[in-house]
Structure 1
Amino acid sequence: MDDDVHTSISIDSPSCNTNALSIVKSNDTSPPPPIPYVGQIFPDLESGRQFYYCYAGYAGFDVRRYFSKLVDSVIQSKKFVCSKQGESMKKMDTNLVECHKISRKSHNVRESCGAQITFKIDTGTTN
């Protein structure tokens, strides 16, 4: 695909310390990755995704896909968020009868982290 990918980014969360790039191990001599900025352009979606995953790893948070917008089966935009984005689901009503139900214990990992990035495909048209 020859279209450029434009990014719009919103990193706004005290709970997911995305701007503190000092989380790196002291013996790491590699330079820090560039910080994403609004209007940044990538040659393709995969390049943008790799860039953000690298940045997120360095900043100390994990990333998950959030949504993709398709038009005529072609990706128009794709959003990635911090893996801790959102709120945890409410616990089930304990008044319900549960016969022989085995549940797996899991940890609550949702902390309302607001780190996110949206990649938009530049089709050359203005909206």
Structure 2
Amino acid sequence: MKVIEEEEQHQIPKKCKSPMHVVKEWIPICEEELKPTEGLEFANLEECENFYKSYAHFVGFSIRKSSSKKTNEGVHKYKYFVCSKQGFRQSSTSVKSSRKVKLTREGCNAMVGFKRVNNGKYVP
């Protein structure tokens, strides 16, 4: 078993060729103020996205926007951001031949959800 050096602790695990060998749980080591924790508040969803994007960049992955839920007035009630490699692509059932595309989805489960609270701010 390899001993991890101090500077290597925040690096992501080596990629596997098969999605069947995806790491089930991986908790990155980083500074506490970068981690999404209870008690944080953000004025808008742009601040939420920038916060999670900086956390993800520091620990070694990229993010994309995922699902959301809006109120009848069109205000986001919930918004989720996930790892850009979250999930798996659906295989095409069409007969039409298409060019080969590199697999970019590997089943990563890293995500955060933000909820709008009564004071109009968003919390993780």
- TM-score (norm: length of structure 2): 0.64
Q: Which has the higher contact order (CA 8 A, sep 6+)?
A: 1
| Contact kept in structure 2, 1:16 and 1:115, CA below 8 Å | no
- For the residues of structure 1 that align with 2:59 and 2:101, how far apart are their CA atoms? 25
How does 1:1-127 map onto structure 2 within 5 Å? 14=23, 17=26, 19-21=28-30, 34-71=34-71, 72-92=73-93, 98=95, 101-124=96-119
SS of the residue 1:46 aligns to: helix
CA RMSD of aligned residues (A): 2.9
Unaligned 5+ residue runs, structure 2? 1-21, 120-124
- TM-score w.r.t. length of structure 1: 0.62
Q: What secondary structure sits across from 1:41 in the alignment?
A: coil
Q: Indicate conservation of the 8 Å contact 1:17/1:60, yes or no.
A: no
More helix as a share of residues: 2
- The percent identity for this pair of structures is 34
Which ranges of 4 or more aligned residues in structure 1 deviate by more than 2 Å? 13-18
Which one has a larger percent strand, Structure 1 or Structure 2? 1
Distance 2:97 2:80 in 1: 35
Point out where structure 1 has 5 or more consecutive residues left out of the alignment.
Answer: 1-12, 22-30
Return the index of the structure with the highest Cα Rg.
1
Question: CA 1:102/1:87 → structure 2, altered by over 3 Å: closer, same or farther?
Answer: closer
How many residue pairs get matched? Answer: 98
Alpha-carbon deviation of 1:32? 9.0
CA shift, 1:117, in A, is 0.7
Which secondary structure state, in structure 2, belongs to the residue aligned with residue 49 of structure 1? helix
Take 2:99 and 2:33, find their aligned partners in 1: how far apart are those partners?
Answer: 38
The amino acid across from 2:51 in the alignment is F
